Chains A and B, each alone.
Chain A
Amino acid sequence: VWLVLCHAGDVTAAWCAVALRRGGLDPVRVVLAEELVVGASLMHAISATNSKASIVLASGEVLDSARIRGVVNRLQQLPENAGLPVADRPYARAEHTAATVGWLATLPVPVLNRPVAHSLEGRWARPGEWQLAASWLGLPTSGWTSRPDPDALEGPRVLVVGDRVLWRDGDVSPIAGGGSEGALVQLATTMQAPLCELYFTVTRAGAGVYAGSILPNVSRYGAAAADALVDVLRGAAA
């Protein structure tokens, strides 16, 4: 089974699920954050030699790690459990999140994107961190300041899915030059975000990397993004 983990109302997640099914991945199961909390049982056994996990949803359906072949992860925060006293809910949510991270972080299949210890959605980073990593890879960067800049995210963008760099119809790659697409893929890899959208700002001096988003609106990139998602999830799972 391929999982799409998301929140209710996440249109991009629904688009991803359709794209995966049309691409021949079967079955694809969309799992809402609430399903992972309310009435669900999580069991993650860790021994010196291996790790085994499963989640039994309230419906009785079992998500067995051994049967999961790939994950699109768009979870940001698990909901609080309304069945607990109000004062206990934040602690319980932290516990549920930590256990869910422990499960997802070590699945031996592609996870787009894999959670990190403090963030269910993956490694969230500030613009300066994207830029520092970009510069290490030889990419131009546009500079960052701690003063809010509402225009900073209005420039060109590209989507990275695995080893592919995609841009929207009518757009051109904001960074010219041989090898730059490979560097953008490396940037995504360095930031532990094989699925991400990179933002650029353009000045008279040229375009530079500004920041990245680990929860991109994949659907804006159309059929090419759907194909890339399927290939990454199927290719690595084969």
Chain B
Amino acid sequence: MTVLVLGIPSEPPVRAVVDALRRCGGDVFLWNQRQVLETSVQAGLTPAEPGGQPSLVGQLVSPDGVVDLASLEGIYMRLTDNGELPEVSGLAFDDPRREHADHVLDTMFSVCQLSPATVVNRPGARDENGSKPRQLQLIARHFATPPTLATNDPHAVVDFWREHGRVVYKSNSGERSIVTELTEADASRFGVLARCPAQFQALVEGVDIRVHAMSSGVTFATAIAADTIDYRYGEQSSMEPVELPGDVATACIRLTVELGLELSGLDFKLTPDGVWVCLEVNPSPAFTAFEHATGQPIAAAVARLLVGRNLGCGC
């Protein structure tokens, strides 16, 4: 049984998962997405009689080898849009090579949706943060959430700002944005807001905590001290592992499973009075920065999740 890793080998999470699997003696095949033009894939589902179960069949053929799609025990997927690959981005939209690349990618998405293997994470679930206002309402079933306003109405923003004193803003969509505190200087840009909504949240004071949660019941929590509101963009930050209270860990795992994810990255603020406020859930977490800073064996846990068992290497 093989674990199929789909992505670009230089990407740190891809490299970390492949290394962890190989270190533990797992059978791993890494498909390099940058070889998409030299790859062919055929996949299918067999017909099923009433009450029967269809089987996924097919194979992936790349310059590095052939993979039988019917015999996978796990898939780790970190694919990017073909248009972002240097090999594809320069091709005309009607170029048959671009069509081929899109067919390969689309088929691999189907395989990830249909495979009975453990898939980290299935494409349908990975898109779950496409609408943060929607996601926040799902999060609120498990955790405290900050008062939030999704709007393109400057007057509504001003009222919200008055009510909450300090407010941050970020994207509504899955597009990456820098979480920023709203200031008087931003008010001059409210004219643009009318044509492009944003998400505003009451600023929550407290410690930033990133939790990596897995459907297998494993969690890793990291406290982050940074000199900026969005710790990802701070010039100085430090990370240290922290113990999660049992009920918080359980809720993290439940929410992860409820969102259809095997692995998630949950961002919290732990307030001075001990409330865990969940800001959002990342369905495709780049966990390696946290692993390197804290020594938490996150990649090894992902490897165990993919094979559904301990690999006998003591990781």
Contact = CB atoms under 8 A, between A and B. Distances in A.
B72 to A, nearest CB: 15
B54 A126 contact: no
B150 A99 contact: yes
A217 interface: no
B62 interface: no
A135 B124 CA distance: 19
Contacts of A83: 195
B150 A94 contact: no
A126 B171 CA distance: 28
Interface string B132-145: 11111100100011
Interface stretch (B42-50, B84-92, B224-232, B299-307): B42-50
B54 A143 contact: yes
A101 B140 CA distance: 17
A128 B135 contact: no
Contacts of A142: 47
Contacts of B175: 91, 94-95
Contacts of B150: 42-44, 46, 98-99, 102-103
A94 B106 CA distance: 21
SS class of chain B's interface: helix, strand, loop or mixed?
mixed
Given A41-B153, A43-B156, A147 B114 contact: no
A139 B50 CA distance: 5
A48 interface: yes
Contacts of B128: 117-118
Nearest to A46: B148
B144 A95 contact: no
A95 B196 contact: yes
Nearest to B44: A145
B283 to A, nearest CB: 9
Given A129-B113, A146-B103, A42 B51 contact: no
Given A83-B195, A88-B196, A98 B131 contact: yes
A105 B195 contact: no
B255 to A, nearest CB: 14
Contact of B195 (A92, A102, A132, A141): A92
B47 A143 contact: yes
Nearest to A138: B51
A146 B110 contact: yes
A123 B260 CA distance: 14
A53 to B, nearest CB: 8
A208 interface: yes
Contacts of A135: 48, 52-54
A96 B114 contact: no
Contacts of B56: 128
B197 A99 contact: yes
B216 interface: no
A51 interface: yes
Interface in A43-68: 43-48, 51, 56
Contacts of B51: 138
Interface in B104-160: 106-107, 109-110, 113-114, 124, 127-137, 140, 144-145, 147-153, 156, 160
B198 interface: yes
A137 B171 CA distance: 39
B114 A44 contact: no
Nearest to B201: A46
B241 interface: no
B9 interface: no
A186 interface: no
Given A42-B151, A135-B53, A141 B47 contact: yes
Contacts of A84: 192, 195-196
Interface in A98-136: 98-99, 101-103, 105-106, 115-119, 123, 125-126, 128-129, 131-132, 135
Contacts of A92: 195-196
Contacts of B103: 146
Interface of A: 40-48, 51, 56, 81, 83-84, 88, 91-92, 94-99, 101-103, 105-106, 115-119, 123, 125-126, 128-129, 131-132, 135, 138-147, 177, 203, 205, 208
30 contacts: A42-B151, A42-B197, A44-B149, A46-B145, A48-B144, A56-B153, A84-B195, A95-B171, A96-B152, A97-B173, A98-B130, A98-B134, A99-B133, A101-B133, A101-B134, A102-B150, A116-B130, A123-B124, A125-B113, A126-B113, A128-B110, A131-B45, A131-B54, A135-B54, A140-B50, A141-B48, A143-B45, A144-B44, A146-B58, A147-B42
Given A140-B47, A143-B46, 12 more contacts: A45-B147, A48-B144, A92-B195, A98-B132, A106-B134, A117-B129, A117-B130, A140-B48, A140-B49, A203-B47, A205-B47, A208-B48
- Which 5 A-B residue pairs are closest in the complex by CB-CB distance? A102-B133, A118-B127, A98-B173, A98-B172, A117-B130
Interface of B: 41-54, 56, 58, 103, 106-107, 109-110, 113-114, 124, 127-137, 140, 144-145, 147-153, 156, 160, 171-175, 192, 194-199
